[in-house]
Chains A and B, each alone.
Chain A
Amino acid sequence: MRKNRKKEIKTKEKNVSEKTIDYLPKPSKVMLLILPVIAILMFFFFFNNYPREQLKQISLMITYFYLNALFLLMIYTGKTYKYRRILFVTIAALFVFSFIPELIETRGSMIVTEEDMINGQVPFCHIVIPMILIPAALTKTIIFPGSILTGFASIASMIVIWIGVSLSIGRGWCSWACFYGGFDEGFSSIPDKPLIRKLDRKWTYMPFAVLLAVVLTSAITLSPTYCEWLCPFKAVSEFAEITSFKAVIQTIIFFSLFLALVIILPILTKKRTQCTFLCPFGAFQQFTNRISPFDIRIDAEKCIKCNKCIKVCPTLSIDEKSLNDGKTLLSCTKCGKCIDFCPKNAVSYHIKGTKVGLKSDISRLFYLYPAFLFGSVLGSGIITRGLWRILKFITTGHII
């Protein structure tokens, strides 16, 4: 009976999620549309430090074809969310296989020592960006123990990438570029139905409160307080040596938040709870949605007010008022789920300044190119290195 129920739910979802596509694109048209992505990725993959080791070459090839296959499917089927989610979760999962072994190889453990911090050897994480601004303006120093120009994930390179992504896709960063977002997205995809349906929307303001609190306290303490106290992703990346009572408390907080907001609550609610209720960078990125040329709009003529988009949105970025206004809230991460689930094709990617619903396929393409390319270029290194570690383990029995 349970199997029948599951089948029933899947059939319902399939019926809802299948878009009424006016026409299936011709294979020749599809190939033309994916050519720019094939060419650009080829340039990044094969003309930029091509590896000599055979296993790394194989990993690179697999990654290249995998990314192109995903984009091909996006274009051919007209579905964004399904294949974006696959890419996103892949990046998050392989992040664990690539980052943690690298830390162990270079430092001997996941622990960041004081010496690493003094030598500026901590890779820069984008979540720190809001916290460094005021201290940088007041004291002309970057309050992060990383390298400004050299090394892996240098501060300057991450800021340049962040500016580029923000100007083009705004908070789309959170669904296309963030290497942590795939964790709670992955866990939220596990159940068929949410166990907790009603979520108080007031909690969606919490990321702003956390943002303001960490920005203000970072300015007093001249250290990134979110990284020191609240980042759940310390559980899968690096954390300070546990040599004091303070460090014990910090570690307990990191792991508790990871368990609660990244694993348990996404499974119970089918929402990206870390991104929706905590992440200060997500709150910060909402402002970039104002400058991005893309948004998601709802065509009032096609919309039948079934509220499916409100129910499926993983970040609670549509409510009844915004639906009536024909748009998503500023917190929208442009993941494409509402677009794929709308039974009437009323929801679409939209270029600001153009008419809603007109040539939405073209608007979608204009959005997909920068979004997919940014996500692929940022995530390709993670995927390649993660695959290499897995292949190394399979062939040699060692991951390090």
Chain B
Amino acid sequence: MDGFFLGISSGLFCLSSCAPVIVPFLLGEGKKVSGNFFIIGLFLTGRLLGYILFAISAWYIGNTILSSHHLKNIFLGGSDIILSVILLFYALFEPKDDCKLNTVMSFFGGKYNNHYLPILLGFITGINICPPFLLALIQSINKGSILNCLLFFILFFIGTSVYITLTAFIGLLSSVSKLRIIGKLTAIVISFYYLYSGSLIILRETVRI
């Protein structure tokens, strides 16, 4: 249960880190509370996948990422830039039936819709190395086996997710039609924040080399 309590204690930090990503998306979609819970579910699924992937990688690769400040920063900067691109894409791009993206998606037997975006957003935020995440990673590696490590991470994930699910209640404002436009505009503004943040980190690391 350590993982769960660690997650609960750092949940507010996770909420403040994830809110700039998920809140504009929820507003932009303009769904009611139930619809938002579905989107949050997709977001958290992506986040869980990110967590599990990172946990497994950390277990097998070892302390490489933790000990290398340089590698950690490159990773952080890169994920910020990817987040920026996704948010800009969401805000500016309206998929039409005949667009090339659907041609690509048809190879996978599907059609593009905005449901893929929260999974992607969740995944990127999930692999973002923030202090509570690092703490959880260190503690999980000391668990002795890969299964215990995974279990610790999953419980940590559940603990942090408690606060994030509260953002679904933005759906109470879904009757305000202007919020969809505000959500998309906010996504554009925040994408610049992540673009700057990621570029600066990578630039610093590159110059240092």
Residues of chain A whose beta carbon lies under 8 Å from any beta carbon of chain B? 134, 138, 202, 205-206, 208-210, 212-213, 216-217, 219-220, 225, 246, 249
In order of increasing CB-CB distance, the 7 nearest A-B pairs are A209-B185, A213-B189, A209-B186, A216-B20, A219-B16, A208-B182, A212-B186
A212 touches B23 (CB 8 A): yes
Say if the beta carbon of B188 comes within 8 Å of chain A. yes
Chain B residues in 8 Å Cβ range of A206: 185
Contact count A vs B, C-beta below 8 Å: 46
Chain A residues in 8 Å Cβ range of B196: 249
For chain B residues 7-59, which have a beta carbon within 8 Å of chain A? 12, 16-17, 19-20, 23-24, 27
What residue in chain A is nearest B20 (Cβ atoms)?
A216
Ordered by A's residue number, 29 sampled pairs between the chains whose C-beta atoms are within 8 Å are A134-B16, A138-B12, A138-B16, A202-B181, A205-B181, A205-B182, A206-B185, A208-B182, A208-B185, A208-B186, A209-B186, A209-B189, A212-B23, A213-B20, A213-B186, A213-B189, A213-B193, A216-B16, A216-B19, A216-B190, A217-B20, A217-B193, A219-B16, A219-B19, A220-B17, A220-B20, A225-B193, A246-B200, A249-B196
Residues of chain B whose beta carbon lies under 8 Å from any beta carbon of chain A? 12, 16-17, 19-20, 23-24, 27, 178, 181-182, 185-186, 188-190, 193, 196, 200
B182 touches A212 (CB 8 A): yes
Chain B binding surface, main DSSP class: helix
A210 touches B189 (CB 8 A): yes
A206–B188 Cα gap in the complex (Å)? 10
Chain B residues in 8 Å Cβ range of A138: 12, 16
A7–B65 Cα gap in the complex (Å)? 73
- Least CB distance from A80 to B in Å reads 29
- Least CB distance from A212 to B in Å reads 5
- Least CB distance from B133 to A in Å reads 14
Chain A residues in 8 Å Cβ range of B12: 138
A307–B183 Cα gap in the complex (Å)? 31
Chain A residues in 8 Å Cβ range of B200: 246
A213 touches B190 (CB 8 A): yes
Known: A212-B24, A213-B20. A205 touches B189 (CB 8 A): no
A184–B200 Cα gap in the complex (Å)? 33
Given contacts A213-B186, A220-B19, 19 further A-B contacts (CB under 8 A): A134-B16, A138-B12, A138-B16, A205-B181, A206-B185, A208-B178, A208-B185, A209-B189, A212-B24, A213-B193, A216-B19, A216-B20, A217-B20, A217-B193, A219-B16, A220-B16, A220-B17, A225-B193, A249-B196
A216 touches B182 (CB 8 A): no
Known: A217-B20, A220-B20. A205 touches B193 (CB 8 A): no
Chain A residues in 8 Å Cβ range of B181: 202, 205
A210–B193 Cα gap in the complex (Å)? 11
Chain B residues in 8 Å Cβ range of A213: 20, 186, 189-190, 193
What residue in chain A is nearest B193 (Cβ atoms)?
A217
Chain B residues in 8 Å Cβ range of A208: 178, 182, 185-186
A206–B186 Cα gap in the complex (Å)? 8
Chain A residues in 8 Å Cβ range of B186: 208-209, 212-213
- Least CB distance from A112 to B in Å reads 21
- Least CB distance from A6 to B in Å reads 38
A134–B13 Cα gap in the complex (Å)? 12
User: Which of B17, B20, B27 gathers the greatest number of chain A CB atoms within 10 Å?
Assistant: B20
Known: A138-B12, A212-B23, A246-B200. A217 touches B182 (CB 8 A): no
Known: A205-B185, A225-B193. A216 touches B178 (CB 8 A): no
Chain B residues in 8 Å Cβ range of A134: 16
- Least CB distance from A174 to B in Å reads 19
- Least CB distance from B205 to A in Å reads 14
Chain A residues in 8 Å Cβ range of B20: 213, 216-217, 220
Chain A residues in 8 Å Cβ range of B189: 209-210, 213
B185 touches A216 (CB 8 A): no
What residue in chain A is nearest B188 (Cβ atoms)?
A209
What residue in chain A is nearest B130 (Cβ atoms)?
A220
A92–B115 Cα gap in the complex (Å)? 49
What residue in chain B is nearest A202 (Cβ atoms)?
B181
Chain A residues in 8 Å Cβ range of B27: 212
Chain B residues in 8 Å Cβ range of A210: 189
A205 touches B190 (CB 8 A): no
- Least CB distance from B157 to A in Å reads 20
What residue in chain A is nearest B194 (Cβ atoms)?
A217
What residue in chain A is nearest B91 (Cβ atoms)?
A209
A202–B20 Cα gap in the complex (Å)? 21
A225–B181 Cα gap in the complex (Å)? 22
A217 touches B190 (CB 8 A): yes
Known: A205-B178, A208-B182. A216 touches B23 (CB 8 A): yes
Chain B residues in 8 Å Cβ range of A217: 20, 190, 193
- Least CB distance from B86 to A in Å reads 16
What residue in chain B is nearest A225 (Cβ atoms)?
B193
A212–B20 Cα gap in the complex (Å)? 9
